[in-house]
Structure 1
């Protein structure tokens, strides 16, 4: 457990994309085993929101910040057969590729321009990415750009960052610009079932306009 805590600490304490990438590179080989031992549930529970809002066959889905691809096989099992993923960590992407659940995986950094055309995806999902030291709130503008009108944005945000991390401002800006409308905002819930009881997130669903 101390080693797991140390790995989490390195990730949360990363100062910028390079340090974050290095932290995940060091952790990649043990990431699945250690996070599951801590009760990390977000890659699995997000499938419930996807199934609630996104019809099978609607079009390709993007797993933004897919990591080792934990969500992919479960989305496939639910009938979503067009999955793509992005992550900043090459090491994590290599592990995600081994799950044989994604049609395409790309190395990309959230917060910067993404390598897809306007409206390419029917929806994007993202879990555990909008948390301390990770992708900025501004990432949502580009993710909205590459999601088609009528499509969905489905993601979690660490509760303490919704105001302090600028997410509430981005939500409002995109809504006032007519680029999306909010469909659902969950109550805060634990990201880890067994450990880190203070790490809570909210799930959000927006419809792209």
Structure 2
């Protein structure tokens, strides 16, 4: 008897990851087809996040960190908008290899959000993180290190899956960082679709904080 059930989609495996190692393995397996498959779903976060950056951070300001950059989809658009001092981090070496081929980033490092990051205090003018704070991905605690490596007066710009804002401790983390004087809230969007074509139930919100 054969099993005719369909194989899990790469996106489903990514969301189902229960550890950093499982997530890295899922992205390693997906890297080669990631751009094509997410484009078919209408994945828009890597492009929309550049609009929030442009609203709050002048062109030419830098350096800017693309946290959880994946295959580097945001990089060429950031560069076209005048952000030419770009760094990226991701936990998948396979994804970073593709990001490197886009020739938009001055440095790319393998690192995981939620762990210590390889930059000094106040190094970046801003960071962006698109689609990183979602099911099976980076924890809310990852915001502490991102705030640490962002300069006073700089900006934290990121999306969070709407279902996780309260249930996974993101709102609590926002409030704790605000109470500690690490940042102050600037902007919070209404929920919107992360995928323009598929996955209609996957909604996110964008957040902007000013650090320091």
Q: Same fold (TM over 0.5)?
A: yes
Q: How far, CA to CA, are the matches of 1:4 and 1:88 in structure 2?
A: 24
Q: 1:26 — aligned with what? A: 29
Q: How far, CA to CA, are the matches of 2:139 and 2:35 in structure 1?
A: 24
Q: How far, CA to CA, are the matches of 2:90 and 2:39 in structure 1?
A: 19
Structure with larger Rg? 2
Q: 1:109 — aligned with what? A: 112
Q: 1:140 — aligned with what? A: 143
Q: Structure 1: 5+ residue runs without aligned partners? A: none
Q: 1:57 aligns with which of 40, 60, 63?
A: 60
Aligned length: 208
Q: How far, CA to CA, are the matches of 1:59 and 1:68 in structure 2?
A: 21
Moved more, 56-65 or 183-192: 56-65
Deviations 1:90-146 (A, max 9, x none): 000000000000000000010000000000000000011000010000000000000
Runs of 4+ in structure 1 over 6 Å off: 2-5
Q: 1:153 — aligned with what? A: 156
TM-score (norm 2): 0.96
Query: Offset of 1:55 from its aligned partner?
Result: 1.1
Q: 1:13 — aligned with what? A: 16
2:83 maps to 1:75: no
2:168 maps to 1:168: no
SS in 1 for 2:173: helix
Q: How far, CA to CA, are the matches of 2:168 and 2:7 in structure 1?
A: 25
Q: Structure 2: 5+ residue runs without aligned partners? A: none
Contact 1:122 1:152 in 2 (8 A): yes
Query: Offset of 1:4 from its aligned partner?
Result: 9.9
Q: How far, CA to CA, are the matches of 1:6 and 1:106 in structure 2?
A: 27
Query: Offset of 1:57 from its aligned partner?
Result: 2.6
The two structures, once aligned, show a CA RMSD in angstroms of: 1.3
2:45 maps to 1:42: yes
SS in 2 for 1:52: helix
